[in-house]
Amino acid sequence: MSAARDPGEVDLLLALVRHRYGERLTTGQLEALRRGIEAIAEHAAALRAVPLGNADEPLPPFTAFRADE
Amino acid sequence: MNPVFRPLRELGEAVRAGRLSPVTLAETFLERLEKLGPRYNAVVTVTRERALAEARRAEAEIAAGRWRGPLHGIPYGAKDLLATAGGIPTTWGAAPLRAQQFDFDATVIRRLEQAGAVLVAKLAMVELAGGMGYCQPNASFTGPGISPWGPDAWSGGSSSGSGSAVAAGLVPFAIGSETWGSILSPAANCGVTGLRPTYGRVSRHGAMALCWTLDKLGPLALTADDCGLVLDAIAGPDPRDATAVDRPFAYDDAAVAGRRFRFGVIRDVAATAEPAVREAFARSLDVLAKLGTVEDVTLADLPYEAVTRLILMAEAASAFEDMIESGAIAGLTAPEDHFTAYARDTILAKDYIRAQRLRPRVAREADRVLSGLDALVAPGRPAVASPLDREFRSVARGNIADVMGAIGNAAGLPAIAVPNGFTEAGLPTSLQFLGRAWEENTVLAAARAWQSITEHHLQHPNVH
């Protein structure tokens, strides 16, 4: 994947993970999580690179519900 | 008659004609599961009591002239993410859940019972179906799944035991599940046939949810015909699973001799595969030319793998939010599963939704390419079975490029993996046929045609 990533953004996101779970994590695990966050950021950048229009909606899994139907 | 490594149709006919007793058949496979299952880390629970009760019922019904069909009296195994009643654990492959029990049978289990099949085992799987990001084979409390083709060869996953148990002749067929690769991977590594149905073809009620918009259930067996017979029994709508659509399916087993197929190959689809896989695929294209035409096709430039992977990571993080946030994942077997999922807290909702908004484009593009074809063909997996002690991917970045898996699962398309010969090291390679939505009968026909002119599926490991 070639989409660019912002190191500052990755630092901020890693800080969120450290804030939530840091007590459980070793230094090595935090390094692995940084690589995981970088990969997520790359995936997200690849998705954001595709223009979408207002009418581009997800395939609808949700349907309105009535118990008597 | 030795019932091991026999196709379902042959077993079913012998049972119907009274030449083979369902009870004897169940005993044969129960013994094999108990004796040989541990060799491959293939089994979680042998369901001896339930199996013998079901086999005795089948025997009585058939003797009374009430034959239910080709699966009546035939033993099978189910991936241990399918709920089973009667005190049989359903562990999801996860050590913290090894005592988990349900008081109902999953819809697939019920449908197979209605077809007269006999549940002989709950089969091993990668913990939580691989949803926590495992990257090496030792990721289940039952140990790493082992392919019967090599003592150091990974069975593939996450339907590990479903692949290895069929390959070793421990069950005539098995049920697995696929979110991304979990049926095709063990089928490839174990040298058996595996069918991933269209999303919505088979009810997931009672199956562990990994990703609600990606999960599918399907059979692994010795032949494509076997897979068709099983799909016929398990397909159909279910009021308990809103995604299981009311779209009739009847297995079309019409003869394929003389039928001409149109196959497509995505340009460079095998370019990043391992050399042995590339070589086997190149040979298979020559064989496929005997069955029809093979043409190169080109896909629009879309982030296929990013779409599927982001959806998978986000939905799995939600499905197991309680285990992740409580820290219970530290009780899983694979060290990387103890923490990798924490990174998914950084997936933004708008990026997940963007992936879902891109999904219709993926589906339309796949359908555009497939509308002029019977199937896309590609290696079943881009790599052969890895050694048990080796990482097969990095923690975060997924496998070798797998555009077929990304598209096929994002678009919910049916695919079947069939054996495609062996490497010099004696490990199986695989070929997949991926079809248009709801075209299971087409990919099954293509796979049957392939198996009518090849003998790879007739080779079995030396298992005693």
Q: Which of A1, A34, A40 to mutate to test the interface with B (most CBs of B within 10 A)?
A: A40
- Beta-carbon separation of B394 and A46 below 8 A: no
What per-residue confidence (pLDDT) applies to A64?
72
- Beta-carbon separation of A49 and B310 below 8 A: no
What per-residue confidence (pLDDT) applies to B400?
65
Closest CA to B97 of B335, B314, B333: B333
ipTM of the shown complex: 0.90
How far does the CA of residue B279 sit from the closest CA of chain A (Å)?
Answer: 26
What per-residue confidence (pLDDT) applies to B355?
97
What per-residue confidence (pLDDT) applies to A69?
67
Q: Please, which residues have CB within 8 angstroms of residue B207's CB and are 6 or more apart in sequence? A: B81, B82, B83, B106, B108, B177, B215, B217
By C-alpha distance, the chain A residue nearest B357 is A58
- Beta-carbon separation of A61 and B336 below 8 A: no
- Beta-carbon separation of A52 and B343 below 8 A: no
φ and ψ at residue B238, rounded to 5 degrees = -155, 120
> Any catalytic annotation for residue B140?
no
The predicted-structure confidence for B365-376, as pLDDT tens digits, reads as follows: 999 999 999 999
What per-residue confidence (pLDDT) applies to A62?
65
Question: Burial of B4 by CB count in 10 Å (0-12 exposed, 13-18 middle, 19+ buried)?
Answer: middle
Contact B424, B276 (CB under 8 A): yes
From residue B35, how far is each of B2, B22, B201, B424 by CA, in Å? 17, 20, 35, 29
Cis link prior to B164 (omega < 30° from 0)? Answer: no
Query: Taking the model in full, what pTM does it have?
Result: 0.96
By C-alpha distance, the chain A residue nearest B326 is A21
Q: What is the identity of the amino acid at B254?
A: A
Q: What is the identity of the amino acid at B391?
A: E
CA B102 from centre of chain: 23
Q: Do you know the residue count of chain A?
A: 69
Please spell the DSSP secondary structure of A12-69, one letter per residue: HHHHHHHHHHGGG--HHHHHHHHHHHHHHHHHHHHHHTS---TT-----------TT-
Closest CB from A20, A39, A56 relative to B397: A39
- Beta-carbon separation of A16 and B302 below 8 A: no
Contact B244, B204 (CB under 8 A): yes
By C-alpha distance, the chain B residue nearest A50 is B302
d(CA B324, CA B439): 38
How far does the CA of residue B89 sit from the closest CA of chain A (Å)?
Answer: 30
Q: Please state whether B125 falls in left (phi above 0), alpha (psi between -120 and 50) or beta.
A: beta
Closest CB from B310, B338, B346 relative to A47: B310
Window 287-326 of B: residues touching A by CB (8 A cutoff) are 302-303, 305-307, 309-310, 313
Question: Burial of B354 by CB count in 10 Å (0-12 exposed, 13-18 middle, 19+ buried)?
Answer: buried
How far does the CA of residue B312 sit from the closest CA of chain A (Å)?
Answer: 12
Give chain A's contact residues with B (Cβ, < 8 Å): 1, 13-14, 16-17, 20-21, 24-25, 29, 32-33, 35-44, 46-50, 52, 56-59, 61, 63
The catalytic residue among B159, B164, B182, B185 is B182
Reading the block at residue B239, the tokens are 């009021």
Closest CB from B303, B357, B361 relative to A46: B303
d(CA B233, CA B312): 28
- Beta-carbon separation of A32 and B351 below 8 A: no
- Beta-carbon separation of A56 and B360 below 8 A: yes
How far does the CA of residue B371 sit from the closest CA of chain A (Å)?
Answer: 20
- Beta-carbon separation of B303 and A25 below 8 A: no
> Any catalytic annotation for residue B182?
yes
What per-residue confidence (pLDDT) applies to B289?
98
What per-residue confidence (pLDDT) applies to B428?
98
Low-confidence ranges of chain B (pLDDT < 50): 395-399
Beta pairing, strands B375-379 & B428-434? antiparallel
What per-residue confidence (pLDDT) applies to A61?
66
The predicted-structure confidence for A1-45, as pLDDT tens digits, reads as follows: 444 567 799 999 999 999 999 999 999 999 999 999 999 999 999
Reading the block at residue A34, the tokens are 């940084």
Question: Burial of B205 by CB count in 10 Å (0-12 exposed, 13-18 middle, 19+ buried)?
Answer: buried
What per-residue confidence (pLDDT) applies to B158?
97
